[in-house]
Amino acid sequence: MKLTIRLLLLFFLFSVGFSYAQEHGNATYYNKKMHGRRTSDGSRYHKDSLTCAHRTYPLGTLLKVRNPKNNKEVIVKVTDRGPHRRNLIIDLSYAAAKEIDIVRFGIAPVEISRVEAADAASAPNDSIALHERK
């Protein structure tokens, strides 16, 4: 009985830790040549959509990306796999990079956290990828 309670407590603490986990690292954005090409989820990339590429999050996951230098945030949808360079953790669409002001730098440090469905519903409509094009 004690072992079961300990395991449940450990599982609960472990799962709560993951829900608030953040990734820190460098981000970049898609270049102009990617515009119109297919992404891993089958849709076509459009530079004005708020999408991203991430190695491990499932396709369709909403992520909040924050620029710690200016505290600007954007919510993006994972539609592709990548980036394929070791020192990067996320590739953003041009619109998402512009929204958090990293376009002029090319590569910039960011913080990434997963957005739950309830949080996305309360977010402002202009910060979610509503105008994705397929």
Task: Please write the tens of the pLDDT for every residue from 55-112.
Answer: 999 999 999 999 999 999 999 999 999 998 999 999 999 999 999 999 999 999 999 9
Confidence (pLDDT) at 104: 93
Instruction: Kindly report the pTM of this predicted structure.
Output: 0.74
Confidence (pLDDT) at 133: 41
Instruction: Please report the domains of the chain, with CATH numbers, ordered by start residue.
Output: 22-127 (2.40.40.10)
Confidence (pLDDT) at 32: 86
- In angstroms, how far is the first alpha carbon of the chain from the final one? 53
Confidence of residue 124 (pLDDT cuts 50, 70, 90): low
In this model, does residue 130 exceed pLDDT 50? no
Confidence (pLDDT) at 128: 47
Q: What are phi and psi of 56, to 5 degrees?
A: -115, -30
Confidence of residue 12 (pLDDT cuts 50, 70, 90): low
In this model, does residue 48 exceed pLDDT 90? yes
